[in-house]
């Protein structure tokens, strides 16, 4: 393991100051489940690790009907998955978080860390996209917000500026008729990285048949998690039937730009996108209907 120093900070300001001052050689340590592997294998370099996981602001997990869910960037997947409100209102996100690694990983890994690691295959990001999450960032220049779909810019790269950290994620409250789901395809049943991931959310009209609004997002088929706007645009105002869902899935397949790597072939990914997009939409619709009852 490369040599580095370690400091635990108790406030966002302290973290920002350290990260801004260390000439890019400081890195944020949260759960460490990605970072420590990357440091050990030399994929990332660091001279200083800034441990942010005990900053109170990064550990918020609360819901209110006006502002929705506030998810501190350091909240572990395990804590999120055990939160009853989150399970009920943000099923897509909880499903995604429950798929990130083993129980051992979930106890350490945070959703914020999964987002900042910016893997094209990150499970949480498509789910956050369909839940319309907004990132709250704090840096030397102050505070700003960014939509989750704008957060990643390349594999392993985000919009975070030097010294800037992700403090929390904000998910609006689900409106009536809302349903969401996330699923992924992996060769093994757990302990694997998505070959393709798909998140979907819909809002159904009172008739439970018409889709008022929909979002579809994909993982592992582009350099960053991919929001398929065309699929949502297509579905808005249409009947929640098999034909339209299938058409939306085809649009997802068209939007995907998969590559071949150690985990799958490009053609296989294209086929999977269509299947998974359809299944994710079906789950979202089913949940939206169940939520009304």
Partner 1 sequence: MSADPQDSVQEAAPAYRVIGTRPIRQDGLDKVTGRAVFGADVRLPETLYGAVLRSPHAHARLLSIDTRQAEALPGVKAVVTAADLPAITLEGDWGDNLRYQSQNTLAADKVLYYGHAVAAVAAVSPHIASEALRSIQVVYDPLPAALDVRQAMREDAPILLDTLRTDSLGQRGNQPTNVASHARFERGDLEQGFAQAALVVEREFETATVHPGYIEPQNASAIYQSNGQVTIWCSTQAAFGIRDDVANVLQIPVGQICVIPTEIGGGFGGKNSAYLEPLAALLSKKSGGRPVKMAMNYSEVLAATGPTSASYIHVKVGVDRDGLITAAQATLVYAAGAYPGSPLWGGMPAIFGAYRVDNLRVDGYDVVVNRPRSGSLRAPGAANAVFASETVMDEICEKLGMDVLEFRRLNGVRQGDRRSDGVPLPRIGFHEALQAARQHPHYTAPLGGPHRGRGVACAYWGNHGGKSSATASVHADGSVSLLEGSVDVSGTRTSLAMQLAETLGIPLEAIHPRVADTNAVAYTEGSYGSRTTFATGWVVYELGQKLIALLSERAAILWETSPDQVQFAEGVFSHKGGEKRLAFKELAARLDETGSPLMASVSLAAGGAGPAFAVHLVDVEVDPETGKVQILRYTAVQDAGQAIHPGLVEGQIQGGVAQGIGWALHEGYVYDEAGRLLNANLLDYRLPTCLDVPAIEPVIVEMPNPRHPYGVRGVGEIPIIPPPAAIANAIARAVGVRLTQLPMSPGRVLAARLARDA
Partner 2 sequence: MNSKPYAKKVQVQAQINGEPVEFLCEPRQTLLEVLRESLGLTGAKEGCSNGNCGACSVLLDGVLVNACLVLAVEIQDKRVLTIEGLAPREGLHPLQEEFLRQGAVQCGFCTPGMILSAKALLDHNPHPGESEIRRWLAGNLCRCTGYEKIVRAVQAAAERLSQQEAAVEVKP
Tell me if 38 contacts partner 1 by CB under 8 A. Answer: no
Tokens of 158: 């985000």
Strands, DSSP E only, in the chain? Answer: 5-8, 26-29, 48-51, 61-64, 68-72, 134-139, 142-147, 152-154, 157-158, 165-171, 178-185, 196-204, 211-219, 226-227
Q: Which is nearer to partner 1, 185 or 227 (CB)?
A: 185
Least Cβ distance, residue 190 to partner 2 (angstroms) = 4
Complex with partner 2: residue 8 or 170, whichever CB lies closer: 8
> Of 142, 145, 175, 189, which lies in the binding site for partner 1, with binding defined by CB under 8 A?
189
Size of the site for partner 1 (CB under 8 A): 20
CA distance 179 to 104: 29
Residues 168-187 that bind partner 1 (CB under 8 A): 185, 187
SS3 assignment, position 208: coil
Q: Say how far apart CA 234 and CA 245 lie, in whole Å.
A: 10
- The one of partner 2, partner 1, none whose footprint includes residue 272, by CB under 5 to 8 A per kind, is partner 1
> In 3D, which of 67, 52, 65 has the Cα closest to residue 11?
52
Closest distance of CB 174 from partner 1, Å: 29
Distance from the first to the final alpha carbon of the chain: 55
Hey, what are 154's tokens?
């390349």
* Binding-site ranges for partner 2 (CB under 8 A): 1-8, 29, 31-33, 36-37, 39-41, 48-49, 51, 78, 101-105, 107-108, 189-191
Is the Cβ of residue 46 or residue 272 nearer to partner 2 in the bound state?
46
> Where does this chain touch partner 1 (CB under 8 A) — which range of 90-98, 188-196, 240-248, 283-291?
188-196
- Supply the DSSP symbol for 59: G
Closest CA to 144 of 153, 136, 132, 154: 136
Q: Is 193 in the site for partner 1 (CB under 8 A)?
A: yes
263 sits near partner 1 (criterion: CB under 8 A) = yes
Q: How many Cβ atoms from other residues are within 10 Å of residue 257's Cβ?
A: 13
**Residue 162 interacting entry, from partner 2, partner 1, none, C-beta within 5 to 8 Å by type:** none
Tell whether residue 250 is a contact of partner 1 (CB under 8 A).
Answer: no
**Residues of this chain that bind partner 1 (CB under 8 A):** 1, 3, 185, 187-193, 195, 262-265, 267-268, 271-272, 275
């Amino acid at each position: 393991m490369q040599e580095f120093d370690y400091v635990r900070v108790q406030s966002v300001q302290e973290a920002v100051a350290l990260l801004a001052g260390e000439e890019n050689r400081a890195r944020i340590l949260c759960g460490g489940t990605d970072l420590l592997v990357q440091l050990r294998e030399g994929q990332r370099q660091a001279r200083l690790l800034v441990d942010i996981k005990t900053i109170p602001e990064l550990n918020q997990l609360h819901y209110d009907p006006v502002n929705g869910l506030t998810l501190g960037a350091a909240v572990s997947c395990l804590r999120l998955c055990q939160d009853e409100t989150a399970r009920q209102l943000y099923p897509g996100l909880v499903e995604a978080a429950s798929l990130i690694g083993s129980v051992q990983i979930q106890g350490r890994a945070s959703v914020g860390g999964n987002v900042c690691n910016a893997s094209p295959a990150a499970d949480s990001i498509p789910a956050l996209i369909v839940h319309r999450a907004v990132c709250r960032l704090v840096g030397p220049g102050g505070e700003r917000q960014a939509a989750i779909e704008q957060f990643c810019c390349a594999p392993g790269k985000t919009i975070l500026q030097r010294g800037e950290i992700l403090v929390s994620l904000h998910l609006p409250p689900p409106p009536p008729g809302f349903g969401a789901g996330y699923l992924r395809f992996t060769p093994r049943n757990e302990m694997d990285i998505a070959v393709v991931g798909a998140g979907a959310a819909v809002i159904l009209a009172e008739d439970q048949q018409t889709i008022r609004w929909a979002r579809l997002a994909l993982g592992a088929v582009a350099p960053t998690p991919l929001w398929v706007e065309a699929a949502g645009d297509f579905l808005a105002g249409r009947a929640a039937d098999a034909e339209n869902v299938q058409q939306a899935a085809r649009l997802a397949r068209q939007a995907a730009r998969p590559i071949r790597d150690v985990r799958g072939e490009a053609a296989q990914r294209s086929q999977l996108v269509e299947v998974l997009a359809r299944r994710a939409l079906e789950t979202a619709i089913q949940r939206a209907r169940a939520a009304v009852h």
